[in-house]
């Protein structure tokens, strides 16, 4: 969604590099280009004015005049202002002192409230809560049925005493039922069934009207929610900001949830809604699957927009999908040498990466990958599925010792997996290349790999030169970097981190609670 904005900002910063000192003309030209980039991204005009004014004031300040690299300092200023516009700090849910905690969802029809209710419920269940979904959208045809299906997929209970509108007719509190009564009764149901979280899915409309506002206000008064989340379709554009203002005046809300962030719209609503409404963005949905949902981190989103990746989110996803016991087992195995790494291990690593989501999204979180967007767009997740099919068509002995796979075996494997013999040949060759690369990375100190370094004297008898490089970021034990090397991408092409300005370097990964070796 932010690709166009990222490209424009990157070109602006490229023009600044190489300048030893920034003149007023340079600052004005940079601010003008940033203003054009934001307006093209459909950002609200008041936000653009405040953003560019703050950048010009700080760029003319003492912090830039004394900086060793003014261009990098300007990038840091832009990042700081982006974080501020997006909310500053991450906002967490506020829980009730006495359960249940009630969360009410509001927004226009088509914004994705019902699907988001299931995503939020699934996320809360993974956090150790016992949520229940409440079907208060009794007007949209089959909305209750949709919520029940979403609840079943999310593995949570659904409170739906009324069938709602099943024939497409317009109902308010007649045949479809009374949504206010359903919402009120759901609180008592949650107490009896010991649900500590209640998520109320309300009805929406295709536009702002008095009936919708009144119904939402009545439900709010009936359940006294701890959080009222306004669901915004990030693809709508400036109209989303107008809708948010109308809901803020008519119903009021405590947080914003952005949906459809994986779309190809310009993304101005995401940058505007927090500044215009004054309420923080709390969650973001970036896909159709229930797992495509997470807490919104303003600093991480700003880092992505500026093309500097999102390593913290990548590592958090790795922690969720890599089994700690299996990771420890893999680390112990790799400590004996890379010759112990087999195709079976490669398949396990590949499937763990596959569970983390689309490979293109994961690669996009790496710093410097904004320069390789065309290559990333060519990555097809089906290639991983074909690779898994080829490996599963092998015998256990062949997976253990790929060198024994001769011509006849490769023909059998190709027929069993429905691919060509050439595909099998490429897989085996890529596996040996990956294993060789991992052996080389082992010399850089990756966890679970034997470090190849000599103690004592270095080259030409010089002491104290062991050749040790900088300390590498800690990753979960057994995490295989080679699995991130789809065909067509250069393992050495992840450059760009050396150009980060002061204060924008990679985060201190040692503070994360990673599995211990």
Task: Tell whether residue 205 is among the known ligand binding residues.
Answer: yes
Task: Tell whether residue 201 is among the known ligand binding residues.
Answer: yes
Task: Tell whether residue 465 is among the known ligand binding residues.
Answer: no
Task: Tell whether residue 114 is among the known ligand binding residues.
Answer: yes
Task: Tell whether residue 226 is among the known ligand binding residues.
Answer: no
Task: Tell whether residue 112 is among the known ligand binding residues.
Answer: yes
Task: Tell whether residue 113 is among the known ligand binding residues.
Answer: yes
DSSP string, 229-292: EEEEETTS-HHHHHHHHHHHHHT--SEEEEE-TTSSS--HHHHHHHHHH-PPEEEEE-SSSTTS
Q: For the chain, what percentages of helix, strand and coil (3-state, to nearest 5) are there?
A: 55, 10, 40
Q: What ranges make up the beta strands (E) of 240-287? A: 255-259, 281-285
Angle, CA 55 vertex, CA 51 and CA 59 arms, to 5°:
175
Task: Tell whether residue 110 is among the known ligand binding residues.
Answer: yes
Task: Tell whether residue 260 is among the known ligand binding residues.
Answer: yes
Partners of residue 134 on adjacent β-strands:
159, 200
Rg (CA), the chain: 27
Please enumerate in sequence order all residues whose Cβ is within 8 A of that of 181, keeping only pairs 6 or more positions apart, or say none: none
d(CA 236, CA 273): 12
Task: Tell whether residue 412 is among the known ligand binding residues.
Answer: no
Task: Tell whether residue 318 is among the known ligand binding residues.
Answer: no
Distance from CA of residue 325 to its chain's centroid?
A: 25
Task: Tell whether residue 460 is among the known ligand binding residues.
Answer: no
For residue 456, whether the previous peptide bond is cis, meaning omega lies within 30 degrees of 0, is: no
d(CA 304, CA 368): 10
> Taking a C-beta distance cutoff of 8 angstroms, is the pair 284, 98 a contact?
no
Nearest to 229 by CA among 296, 305, 152, 159: 296
Task: Tell whether residue 511 is among the known ligand binding residues.
Answer: no
> Taking a C-beta distance cutoff of 8 angstroms, is the pair 504, 76 a contact?
yes
- Tokens standing for 290? 């229930």
Task: Tell whether residue 111 is among the known ligand binding residues.
Answer: yes
Task: Tell whether residue 107 is among the known ligand binding residues.
Answer: yes
Please enumerate in sequence order all residues whose Cβ is within 8 A of that of 501, keeping only pairs 6 or more positions apart, or say none: 69, 71, 72, 73, 74, 75, 76
Alpha carbon distances (Å) from 52 to 46, 82, 324, 411? 10, 11, 46, 63
Annotated binding site: 107-114, 201-205, 259-262
Annotated binding site for GTP: 107-114, 201-205, 259-262
């Amino acid at each position: 969604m932010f690709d166009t904005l990222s490209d424009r900002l990157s070109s602006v910063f490229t023009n600044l590099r190489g300048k030893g000192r920034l003149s007023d003309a340079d600052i004005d030209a940079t601010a003008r280009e940033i203003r054009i980039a934001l307006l093209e991204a459909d950002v609200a005009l008041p936000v653009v004015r405040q953003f560019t004014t703050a950048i010009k004031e700080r760029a003319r300040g003492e912090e830039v005049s004394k900086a060793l690299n003014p261009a990098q300092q300007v990038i840091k200023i832009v990042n700081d202002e982006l974080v501020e516009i997006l909310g500053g700090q991450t906002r967490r849910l506020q829980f009730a002192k006495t359960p249940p905690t009630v969360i009410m969802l509001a927004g226009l029809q088509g914004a994705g409230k019902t699907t988001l209710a299931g995503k939020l419920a699934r996320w809360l269940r993974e956090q150790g809560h016992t949520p229940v979904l409440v079907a208060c959208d009794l007007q949209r045809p089959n909305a209750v049925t949709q919520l029940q299906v979403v609840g079943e997929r999310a593995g949570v209970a659904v409170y739906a005493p009324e069938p709602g509108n099943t024939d497409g007719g317009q109902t308010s509190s007649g045949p479809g039922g009374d949504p206010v009564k359903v919402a009120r009764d759901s609180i008592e149901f949650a107490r009896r069934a010991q649900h500590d979280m209640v998520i109320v899915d309300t009805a929406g409309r295709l536009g702002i009207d008095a009936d919708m506002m009144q119904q939402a206000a009545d439900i709010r008064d009936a359940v006294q929610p701890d959080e009222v989340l306004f669901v915004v379709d990030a693809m709508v554009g400036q109209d989303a900001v107008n809708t948010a203002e109308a809901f803020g005046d008519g119903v009021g809300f405590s947080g914003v949830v952005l949906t459809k962030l994986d779309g190809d719209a310009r993304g101005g609503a995401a940058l505007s809604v927090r500044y215009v409404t004054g309420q923080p963005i709390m969650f973001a949905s970036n896909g159709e699957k229930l797992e495509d949902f997470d807490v919104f981190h303003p600093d991480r989103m700003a880092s992505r927009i500026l093309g500097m990746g999102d390593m913290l989110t990548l590592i958090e996803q790795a922690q969720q999908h890599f089994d700690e016991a299996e990771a420890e087992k893999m680390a112990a195995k790799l400590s004996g040498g890379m010759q112990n790494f087999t195709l079976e291990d490669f398949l396990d690593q590949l499937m763990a990466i596959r569970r983390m989501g689309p490979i293109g999204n994961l690669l996009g979180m790496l710093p410097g990958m904004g320069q390789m967007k065309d290559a990333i767009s060519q990555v097809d997740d089906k290639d991983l599925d074909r690779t898994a099919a080829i490996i599963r068509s092998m015998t256990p002995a062949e997976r253990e010792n790929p060198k024994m796979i001769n011509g006849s075996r490769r023909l059998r494997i190709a027929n069993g997996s429905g691919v060509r013999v050439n595909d099998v040949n490429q897989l085996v060759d890529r596996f040996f290349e990956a294993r060789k690369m991992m052996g080389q990375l082992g010399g850089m100190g990756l966890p679970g790999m034997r470090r190849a370094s000599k103690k004592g004297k270095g080259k030409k008898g010089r002491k104290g030169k062991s050749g040790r490089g900088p300390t590498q970021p800690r990753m979960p034990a057994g995490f295989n970097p080679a699995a991130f090397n789809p065909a067509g991408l250069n393992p050495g092409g992840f450059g760009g981190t050396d150009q980060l300005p002061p204060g924008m370097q990679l985060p201190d990964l040692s503070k994360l609670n990673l599995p211990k070796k």
